[in-house]
Amino acid sequence: AQKVTQAQTEISVVEKEDVTLDCVYETRDTTYYLFWYKQPPSGELVFLIRRNSFDEQNEISGRYSWNFQKSTSSFNFTITASQVVDSAVYFCALSGAGGYQKVTFGIGTKLQVIP
């Protein structure tokens, strides 16, 4: 069975602070995908990143960066110089890589950036 744990349910930071959202996963699959999604108050899911289990390179996209460590089964997400527009719920998710696999979501971390 697959499981995604986001231990931080709510985080508040002051604007311009850096913040890291933690994600730990469990899977028996040798090949899998990891994701991060952003869900603003409007409710839609905004895709942020997909990472293949074979690719452990860290990735940076503007103020966003992701740290994938297979040894600790973690896929953490850092926002640098946070902005009010970053306020949202962030979901870490996991799917198997074979065929048509469902996505298993973590419980989400609600991030509030205070001006």
Summarize as ranges the residues that interact with another protein (CB under 8 A): 33, 35, 37, 43-45, 47, 50, 52, 91, 95, 97, 100-103, 105-108
Q: Name which of 28, 30, 33 is nearest 92 in CA terms.
A: 33
Min CB(49)–another protein separation in Å: 11
CB of 82 to another protein, least distance (A): 22
Compute the distance between CA of residue 52 and CA of residue 26 in angstroms, rounded to an integer: 15
Query: At closest approach, how far in Å is the CB of 88 from another protein?
Result: 14
Closer of 10 and 17 to another protein (Cβ): 10
Judge residue 78's burial from the number of C-beta atoms within 10 Å of its C-beta, 0-12 exposed, 13-18 middle, 19 or more buried.
middle
